[in-house]
């Protein structure tokens, strides 16, 4: 009996080539034909969009454009380009011979399609070799008003003990924060924040990789002097103009996150015309700010900012489309732990959101996450190991 099975995963398709006994030279030729991709290209001039459409058709691919672009009734337009990898690379090469900004489009298409491994990132004494496994960032909030733990680790001794427990449970690095950034929270003076985090960092420095979760350059500098190894800035360099130069001065890695507005007002009816496109554009700006300040290109981690100026639907869409952030060529960190999106779906308080966190974590790994930021390290480390065995095992 003849049976037909659809294989919609590129890696699995290549495995089937091998299982069939196809010659390696043949696999090299045919594999790019077996992978279909859809690219969204923003802000093209109509003349450029129309040329792109014609070139796409000549290679058997297609470009979707609005009618206003065809008749050149708009100044700029977005388009969808879709075809096999082989077709798209051929189109990219051809675009480099055109005008109207198309050479840059061709170069960007090649960049997006390139399957380049992420650079190894050294955080403290540990080398993070992304792609082989997912790394875990454990959370320690040295605050009286954390949404997730109610200030349980406000005392330095409690925070130090918790950091050690999380590290022993499987965390690869510990993120220490002295200011709550939950929705509706107010800014804490830098001196207060420093007084909370520095004693903890001083006791833990050198024993485990440490991240300082702050938006303020003064706090970052104090934490780095005390022994922190990475800066985690939820504002993406937008809260404090000195933050990027501070990171550059200490030559440490930095995680830049997307957020819409300040924590106090970020959940006041957030709206996006193009959610993922706007997140990517904002992160690109954060990367540019950092690069202009002197931070090396391989020092960045990016975070789409679950819960920071997003509705439930926005947050769910981010997890579904997380892989699209790979176009930025940086490791992706995501923080689903006990977030309101889980509470909204499951109708549970923060203390009962472990299983929801596990589900989001597993799907985020499936969709491209390189680091997951969580409270419940012992339990989530099992989720990570299981998800990695499915997603990353060759």
Catalytic residues: 339, 373
The DSSP annotation for 301-325 comes to: EEE--TTSS--HHHHHHHHHTGGGG
Taking the C-alpha atoms of residue 54 and residue 83, their distance in angstroms, rounded to an integer, is 14
Q: Cβ contacts of residue 333 below 8 Å, gap of 6+? A: 137, 255, 301, 302, 303, 369, 370, 371, 372, 373
Contact (CB, 8 A) for 212 and 230 = yes
Taking the C-alpha atoms of residue 260 and residue 311, their distance in angstroms, rounded to an integer, is 11
Contact (CB, 8 A) for 305 and 257 = yes
Q: How many CB atoms lie within 10 A of CB 84?
A: 18
Report in angstroms the alpha-carbon separations of 289 from 62, 242, 256, 296, 328. 35, 11, 10, 11, 15
The pair of three-digit structure tokens given for residue 164, joined into one six-digit string: 């050690």
């Amino acid at each position: 009996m003849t049976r037909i099975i659809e294989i919609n995963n590129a890696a699995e398709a290549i495995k089937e080539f091998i299982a069939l006994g196809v010659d390696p030279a043949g696999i090299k030729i045919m594999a790019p034909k077996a992978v279909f991709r859809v690219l969204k290209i923003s802000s093209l001039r109509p003349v450029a969009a129309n040329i792109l459409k014609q070139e796409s058709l000549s290679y058997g691919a297609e470009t979707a454009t609005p009618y206003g672009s065809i008749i050149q009734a708009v100044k700029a337009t977005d388009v969808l380009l879709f075809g096999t990898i082989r077709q798209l690379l051929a189109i990219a090469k051809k675009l480099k011979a055109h005008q109207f900004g198309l050479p840059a489009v061709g170069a960007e298409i090649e960049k997006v399609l390139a399957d380049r491994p992420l650079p190894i990132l050294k955080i403290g004494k540990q080398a993070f070799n992304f792609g082989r496994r997912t790394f875990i960032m454990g959370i320690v909030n040295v605050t009286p008003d954390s949404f997730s733990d109610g200030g349980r680790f406000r005392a330095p001794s409690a925070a130090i003990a918790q950091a050690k427990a999380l590290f022993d449970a499987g965390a690869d690095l510990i993120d220490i924060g002295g200011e709550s950034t939950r929705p509706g929270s107010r800014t804490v003076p830098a001196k207060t924040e420093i007084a909370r985090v520095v004693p903890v960092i001083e006791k833990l420095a050198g024993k485990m990789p440490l991240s300082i979760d702050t938006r303020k350059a003064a706090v970052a500098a104090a934490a780095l002097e005390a022994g922190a190894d990475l800066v985690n800035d939820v504002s993406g360099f937008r809260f404090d103009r000195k933050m990027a130069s501070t990171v550059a001065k200490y030559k440490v890695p930095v995680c830049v996150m997307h957020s819409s507005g300040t924590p106090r007002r970020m959940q006041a009816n957030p709206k996006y015309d193009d959610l993922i496109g706007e997140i990517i554009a904002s992160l690109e700006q954060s990367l540019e700010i950092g690069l202009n300040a002197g931070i090396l290109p391989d020092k960045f981690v990016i975070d789409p900012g679950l819960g920071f100026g997003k509705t439930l639907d926005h947050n769910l869409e981010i997890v579904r489309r997380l892989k699209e952030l790979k176009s930025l060529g940086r490791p992706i960190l995501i923080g689903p732990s006990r977030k309101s999106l889980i509470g909204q779906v499951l109708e549970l308080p923060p203390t009962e959101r472990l299983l929801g966190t596990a589900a989001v974590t597993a799907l985020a790994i499936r969709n491209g996450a390189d680091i997951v930021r969580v409270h419940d390290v012992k339990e989530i480390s099992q989720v990570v190991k299981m998800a990695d065995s499915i997603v990353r095992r060759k």
